[in-house]
Amino acid sequence: MDPLVESPLAGVEQLAQVDLPPKRPDDIHGDERTYRDLIMFEERLRTNMIRIKGTTWRWKVLLMMLLAVLVASAYFTFAGRSNSPAVAEGSTTDADPNAPPPPPWAALIFILTCSALVFFFASGLFTSKLLTPAKTLKPFNMFFQETSGQIEFTRRVPRNFQDGVAAYRKSFLRRREQAAAAARRKARPAPKPA
């Protein structure tokens, strides 16, 4: 059968559509190249997660500072108003008529801090900077273990493929350790003759 068919629209030849059977999870072929690519991806993901943890800490500190400024400015803005003469005129409580009004900068800082927090959450900075990107691997039936720093597979991935990746990871780590030991021996200075 000829894979090219004539297009009914413009007389142009097109590839005929071939119905392929759906791929089953058992059809996953694991070879050394696939395992190597997964291990390299795991190494890059591990270094990125270390970098992300550092930046996540900074964003958490910024968020805590914004919340502390918000609470302090809210206290100075609203707690000071209960003692102000304008509020105390109609009230039955004993308010000090000589109490100073709240400072105008407190209300300005309160408004600016509220605006910054609304921007932080509405723009998506919270989800992009503070939540880990672990959900991105879920469609590929994988997840990243924070404790071990390795990619783990869900039950949908065949066991023989998981075992192949684990065996390749073990040999990869062994070869990397041997190369590091050889580099250390090579860089070690030779003993000085007496």
pLDDT for 174 equals 95
Residue 80 has pLDDT above 70, yes or no: no
Q: How far apart are the C-alpha atoms of 35 and 166, rounded to whole Å?
A: 9
Q: What token pair was written down for 157?
A: 């991935």
DSSP string for residues in 78-109: IITGGGSHHHHSS-SS---TTPPPPPHHHHHH
Q: How far apart are the C-alpha atoms of 87 and 72, rounded to whole Å?
A: 21
Residue 152 has pLDDT above 80, yes or no: yes
pLDDT for 53 equals 79
88: confidence class by pLDDT, cuts 50, 70, 90: very low
Residue 15 has pLDDT above 80, yes or no: no
Average pLDDT, the chain: 78
Q: Which of 31-35, 96-100, 136-140 has the highest mean pLDDT?
A: 31-35
**Domain segments of the chain as ranges:** 32-182
23-79, pLDDT tens digit by residue?
555 556 678 889 999 999 989 988 888 887 778 888 889 899 999 999 999 888 887
Whether pTM > 0.75 for this model: the answer is no
Rounded mean pLDDT, 146-155 = 86
pLDDT for 64 equals 93
Q: What pairs with residue 6 in β-bridges?
A: 13
pLDDT for 118 equals 92
Rounded mean pLDDT, 7-20 = 51
Rounded mean pLDDT, 80-100 = 56
Angle 159-162-166 from CA coordinates, rounded to 5°: 135
Residue 6 has pLDDT above 60, yes or no: no
Residues 6+ apart with CB under 8 A from 116: 66
Q: How far apart are the C-alpha atoms of 7 and 4, rounded to whole Å?
A: 9
Q: How far apart are the C-alpha atoms of 18 and 6, rounded to whole Å?
A: 15
Of 135 and 106, more confident: 106
